[in-house]
Structure 1
Amino acid sequence: MNRLGSGIMISILAMAVMPVWHAAEASIGNKLVVAALRGDSTEVRKLLSKGASPNFADKDGCTPLIAAAGGGAKELEVWGNAITSKPAASRGTAEIVRILLAAGASPDPQDNRRSTALMYAAEYGNTESARALLDAHANPNLADSQGVTALHFAARGGKTEIVSQLLRSGATPDSRTIQGATPLGVAASSGRTEVVRSLLAAGADPKGHDSHGQTWLISAAYGGFVEVMSALVEAGAELMARDEGGNSALTHAAYMGQTAATAWLLDHGAEINARDKAGRTALGVARKRGHVDVAALLETRGGAE
């Protein structure tokens, strides 16, 4: 056999072996993901010593680091040899995060939704995992397919310590999702007063609004979060800012039957008879929605329909 023929034969043999090799790699890689999901540090070390790649990604793009950073926060669905995973609940596996990083795992893996390990740690409140990732220089400003960052996740869940970690590591306090929501907006709509104050102290814009013109004060009023409303107004939020429908925070509070929020807004100078683009006042909205207490409050303050 000449050199050319020999080369062709070697190539054919290599091609025949490759599927087997890739299957073996996938098998040990999936085992590593599962071990990370289960919080089994002993098995993780064992698989790494056998050559499992800390940067392996399963069919959903889930790497061992993503699995561990969520605190093992996954539900496993096993069908024969096929393993898939999805976020579920937290059990905390910061030790495995450190093991994987020490083994060479990239601190910024992104799954098929572009979610990072840091996002999972932030979402599930795994403070030590977040710290380990940030110490390894994970990028706090990466965004998933919806424009959501780790700071959005931490803010929504009221994970105050992680919010502080992210801000110290350079997270942008006014990053926006594709719907225009900032971490401050998410925290305000979730009633996370302490997080709201931290973000405002870091320079977040209290006058911000989403793509529908809904301000963070409106979001807080809608949920009846008076302490958040107070923090926003104290920081400069406009009391009578309107959304795209011409609705103010007062209208939203009345719509949701938020008596305390309605009273607070009136006490702080909200225009009681301001009308939206459809000509409705807060009193008219409250009556239509059947919120008797709010309607009575508005009537005693001089509200008109």
Structure 2
Amino acid sequence: MPADETLLKAASQGDASAVRDALTSGADTETRDGRRRTPLLLASAADHVEAAKVLVAAGANPDAQDDQRASAFLVTGVTGSVAMLHALLPAKPDLTLTNRYGGVALIPACERGHVDYVREVLKTGINVDHVNDLGWTALLEAVILGDGSTAYQQIVQLLITAGADLDLPDAEGVTPLQNALRKDHHALATLLRTAGAH
């Protein structure tokens, strides 16, 4: 098997020592599979942290995007892996890179209720008020797509503490507080009101 294929397979399986061996054999860190996924993206999507660390140390690009516009860094917002987030930060990922919905990594993490990840990614200085192609911020995603449970209450509080614009409306002009009331997310509405939202 050619070194590049070996590297892609090893990264997808999380075999860090095979990743190292493939790189030593001359495999290209930026080789792509049929869906344009790099070894680092494959490792990140499957949360193979040790394999990712080997690739990052070899200079792999955390911003290389596949045919769905996913990158190794962006996919951490979907998986919510704090360990992978920290493994990729030394590679200095582009925090402004957007996925196929026009969102930064923070947004899917808020939508999916990844509290610990949201807490950590906010420390990077990522834009808390980034608006995606749907016209939604991370706060709007947490309110509209979340279920109002404790996890989403914690995320909304983290976004408030991070200085999110509480009155930035969605594409229809509806604010996070108005959306929370529409969905009967009373705890979220209370949090937003207490923080001064309108």
Letter matched to residue 176 of structure 2: W
Aligned to 1:69: 44
> Deviations along 1:251-299, whole A, 9 cap, x unmatched?
xxxxxxxxxxxxxxxxxxxxxxxxxxxxxxxxxxxxxxxxxxxxxxxxx
How far off its partner does 1:68 sit? Answer: 1.0
CA distance in 2, matches of 1:69, 1:42: 16
> Deviations along 1:230-263, whole A, 9 cap, x unmatched?
111112222xxxxxxxxxxxxxxxxxxxxxxxxx
1:42 is aligned, of 2, 17, 23, to: 17
Structure number with higher relative contact order (C-alpha < 8 Å, ≥ 6 residues apart): 2
Aligned to 2:172: 212
**Equivalence map 1:51-70=2 (5 Å):** 51-70=26-45
Compute the RMSD of aligned alpha carbons: 1.8
**Equivalence map 1:221-232=2 (5 Å):** 221-232=181-192
Aligned to 1:198: 158
* Uncovered stretches (5+) of structure 2, i.e. residues with no partner: none
CA distance in 2, matches of 1:149, 1:230: 27
TM-score (norm: length of structure 2)? 0.89
Aligned to 1:186: 141
CA distance in 1, matches of 2:51, 2:120: 20
CA distance in 1, matches of 2:22, 2:100: 31
How far off its partner does 1:59 sit? Answer: 3.0
Conserved? CA contact 1:147–1:178, under 8 Å:
yes
Aligned to 1:134: 89
Conserved? CA contact 2:41–2:62, under 8 Å:
no
Aligned residues: 193
Conserved? CA contact 1:94–1:132, under 8 Å:
yes
CA distance in 1, matches of 2:8, 2:156: 35
How far off its partner does 1:111 sit? Answer: 1.4
How far off its partner does 1:215 sit? Answer: 2.1
Conserved? CA contact 1:55–1:106, under 8 Å:
yes
Q: Note closer, same or farther for the CA distance 1:68–1:237 as it changes in structure 2 (3 Å cut).
A: same
How far off its partner does 1:63 sit? Answer: 0.6
2:121 is aligned, of 142, 166, 175, to: 166
Aligned to 1:109: 64
Q: Percent identity?
A: 32
How far off its partner does 1:36 sit? Answer: 1.6
CA distance in 2, matches of 1:140, 1:155: 16
CA distance in 1, matches of 2:9, 2:172: 41
Larger Rg: 1
How far off its partner does 1:207 sit? Answer: 1.1
